[in-house]
Structure 1
């Protein structure tokens, strides 16, 4: 791990709402940085709790892995508190507008884009399927992948609702995530971490099951 850079984690709780349904959810929020600056991946539910973890550090960006409401509901408040820009892939703007019709993101994420913080580079990987603009963030210096809801411990993210597609998410995992080094730790949007090595053997099983 790069000297000074670290990964911090908190879990926030709230509601996920889509297609007329609402569910209670716990979300993983990831903070990557050092004692001076950081980025937040997925500002979920509780801007105050996230701000407490940040402390006096400069927040360089609020990165959205996708625009389901449970991953972005606290983003505008956190941006107002810190002055940090909200970054989202443009393909997820229709989902974003369902939650924040009067507040657009501040910048776009694109495949291959590099975000730098605390001496660490985070490479944006466009991984559609769970949502059209879903992205993952790969930090080779930290041996870490922040997968949002694209890949969990045990399988792909859900694809049974609007804006999602199972063959697309399988292709995203197959071609964008599984080629990463086996030791890469996958920090997910919900639940426990996993590794690329742990998930790779199950690809054909996911396909056969239509996971």
Structure 2
């Protein structure tokens, strides 16, 4: 079994009075015995089926837009796992789960180990105040949530977001990763740092 598993779930994203239909990537990292879940979206039953009888070491949320966290409490309770989220995401988290707090704080350079694989948290604010990517050096992979997609940075046109901040985060943190690093995103297809670097560097050079 590959240490990285993936399923796509469908639902809605709501913020600032608008609601949109979205497909989300849910990622699992681990082995036959234990897994870490990233961004449990929309369909708790489908995610639970994917987990099976394995132990869940943590439910890590890259950010707190509702389409990335709406099933976090259900799965955390079902599998007795902590929800881990940057404290800077508290205002967004409370919009979806006002009566439930995350269990642990997600901090820059924090590490997790699951099935002998180390993940490192990389603080990349911009799409939201506490957006965080998860790098897996051993697998030459980074999970970027909604910070970086195939084709460019995540959206910054809504509350709690900043285009200048996300471009700074990408330039300072993500473009420093090896070019062959696979980028597993929160929505859509995966890409690599090397494939995204040329046009991102153009935006940074223009001072945007």
User: TM over 0.5: same fold?
Assistant: yes
SS of the residue corresponding to residue 62 of structure 1 reads strand
Count the aligned residue pairs. Answer: 207
Separation of aligned partners in 1, 2:76 and 2:199 = 38
Q: Tell me if the contact between 1:155 and 1:206 (Cα under 8 Å) persists in the aligned partners.
A: no
TM-score by length of 2: 0.97
Whether 2:101 is the aligned partner of 1:104: answer yes
Return the match for 2:168 from 154, 171, 186.
171
Separation of aligned partners in 2, 1:206 and 1:29 = 29
Separation of aligned partners in 1, 2:35 and 2:191 = 23
TM-score by length of 1: 0.96
Q: Which residue of structure 2 lines up, in the alignment, with residue 152 of structure 1?
A: 149
Q: Which residue of structure 1 lines up, in the alignment, with residue 132 of structure 2?
A: 135
Whether 2:181 is the aligned partner of 1:184: answer yes
Off by >2 Å, runs of 4+ in structure 1:
204-210
Which digits, 9 at most, give the CA deviation of each residue in 1:43-80, with x for residues without a partner?
10111111100111000000000000000001011111
Alignment gaps of 5+ in structure 1: none
Separation of aligned partners in 2, 1:76 and 1:170 = 31
Return the match for 1:28 from 20, 25, 28.
25
Root-mean-square deviation (CA, aligned residues, Å) is 1.2
